[in-house]
A and B are shown apart, each in its own frame.
Chain A
Amino acid sequence: MPIVQAARNLISQMIVGAHSTNAYYGSTGAVLWVSTSCTAHGPTQTHLQGLTLTCHNSTMESGYPSIATNVLEFRGILSTARGNVDWNEIGLTNATSTGSGTMLFRSVADYGTKTCTQTWQLTACVTITT
């Protein structure tokens, strides 16, 4: 299950305005991450589980994140020079450093191995339903 406890707590803080003002996952805050670890999701994880050297990130493409009522879309692009590792985990945080920010979700699946001749576009669509 992708959501983690730190994100759960941050969402709760945001509802009542108790969060840091730089905690938003907006166009300048949201960062998509990929890395190599197949470690199962754990609710206390705070970042991807691959070694820092294998973590690659992308800030938001122009126009992202988008929101349509209850549907959020985050999009990043890993160009030929970035993310050339086994893609086994994907996460979204609000910081460009592995040592800061809050990871909103971490999802573990085999997406294949990216090479330097490829560009991969990653879109995360989050729908909150009742």
Chain B
Amino acid sequence: MDSLRRMEELGARVRLRLHVEKFDRSGDEPCLVEEIVTEEHFALGPERADKET
């Protein structure tokens, strides 16, 4: 786990952005009906997190 501790000491962080695009397929052509985006920021250690939705 030394490498993980080193990354935590360096303050490495991760941003996770999830993007869901919803297409209606009932017609002849796919039609975008809605988009949802969520974003979370967290450190590599499991104890800290900030969340935006």
Contacts and interface: CB of A to CB of B under 8 A. Distances in A.
Interface in A69-113: 80, 87, 90, 105, 107, 109, 111-112
A127 B39 CA distance: 11
B44 A3 contact: yes
What is the size category of the interface that chain A forms with chain B?
35 or more
Contact of A12 (B1, B40, B51, B53): B1
A114 B23 CA distance: 10
Interface string A49-64: 0000000000000000
Interface of B: 1, 3-4, 10-26, 30, 33-34, 36, 38, 40, 42, 44-46, 48-49, 51, 53
